[in-house]
């Protein structure tokens, strides 16, 4: 029988996590480090980045941090080059940054469309492209991009956001097809309602907050660390035959058709 514990061991690997200052990005970086990876943290939030770095080091992990504005055209290449400089390799790349402008599609301005598309789709592609080139040359690696349940289901006010998240899924599927022959895997993760600083404003609206919880099969919001374990799996040898997929971590949101329970 094989040693299945070793399938989650990331010792010797190096990972780049962009968006590591808070929320799901920070939890992902901490989880990767906990399983043995050396982690390069990147984010434009310098204070949050420093706190994340200290937390990983306090826990005995190995990490470095770099302030990064992913909207800069050269940022993706810089982040990948910096990771290689620090750790000499890149085994896993995790892209989490995203933005949303909540309003009806008919009310969207061109500037607002550009804001959402430029970060969520174009900047994510630049990052995946930069990491993918390095991994293709090396002959192995795991690209992980964050999509959303909005890649599959929508609600009023999230149309452009949903379109970018569906686009990320298609980018990942294409990368899986194009890079698979080189030993590189590409997958997307689709979180449901997760309690992070970005979703904090929803708590100010109890009905909205409760409605999201009740849309899940588990009747609750998720935590960043529950998503982070999906990142660990997709980075680890345990997922060596997994590529081109959308990994749902949504508490059953997309499986549940409403919350009404009919008399059976």
Q: Would you call 10 exposed, middle or buried from its count of C-beta atoms within 10 A (0-12, 13-18, 19+)?
A: buried
With 0-12 / 13-18 / 19 or more C-beta atoms within 10 angstroms meaning exposed / middle / buried, residue 71 is middle
The tokens describing 241, both together, are: 């035959």
The residues assigned a catalytic role are 161
Q: How far is C-alpha 114 from the chain's CA centre?
A: 21
CA pair distance 45, 120, nearest whole angstrom: 17
Across 114-143, b (16+ Cβ under 10 Å) vs e yields: ebbbebbbbbbbbbbebbbebbbeeeebbb
**Going edge to edge, which strands form the sheet with 141-146?**
63-67, 38-43, 14-18, 92-95, 141-146, 184-191, 246-249
Q: SS3 for 63?
A: strand
Determine how many CB atoms are found less than 10 A away from the CB of residue 197: 13
């Amino acid at each position: 029988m094989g040693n299945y514990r070793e399938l989650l061991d990331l010792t010797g690997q190096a990972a780049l996590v962009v968006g590591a200052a808070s929320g799901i990005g920070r939890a992902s970086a901490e989880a990767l480090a906990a399983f043995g990876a050396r982690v390069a943290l990147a984010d434009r939030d310098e204070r949050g980045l420093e706190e994340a770095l200290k937390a990983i080091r306090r826990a005995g992990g190995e990490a470095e941090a770099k302030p990064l504005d992913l909207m800069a055209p050269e940022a993706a290449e810089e982040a990948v080059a910096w990771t290689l400089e620090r750790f000499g390799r890149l085994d896993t790349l995790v892209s989490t940054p995203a933005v949303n402008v909540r309003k009806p599609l008919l009310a969207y301005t061109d500037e607002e469309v550009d804001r959402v598309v430029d970060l969520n789709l174009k900047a994510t592609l630049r990052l995946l492209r930069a990491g993918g080139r390095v991994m293709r040359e090396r002959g192995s690696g795991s690209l992980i991009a964050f999509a959303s349940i909005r890649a599959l289901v929508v609600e009023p006010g999230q149309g452009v956001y949903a379109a970018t998240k569906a686009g990320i899924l298609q980018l990942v599927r294409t990368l899986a097809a194009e890079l698979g022959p080189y030993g590189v895997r590409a997958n997307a993760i689709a979180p449901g309602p997760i309690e992070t600083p970005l979703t904090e404003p929803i708590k100010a609206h109890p009905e909205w907050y409760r409605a999201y919880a009740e849309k899940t099969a588990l009747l609750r919001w998720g935590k960043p660390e529950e998503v982070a374990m999906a990142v660990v799996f997709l980075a680890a040898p345990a997922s060596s035959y997994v590529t081109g997929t959308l990994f749902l971590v949504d508490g059953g949101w997309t499986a549940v058709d409403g919350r009404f329970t009919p008399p059976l």
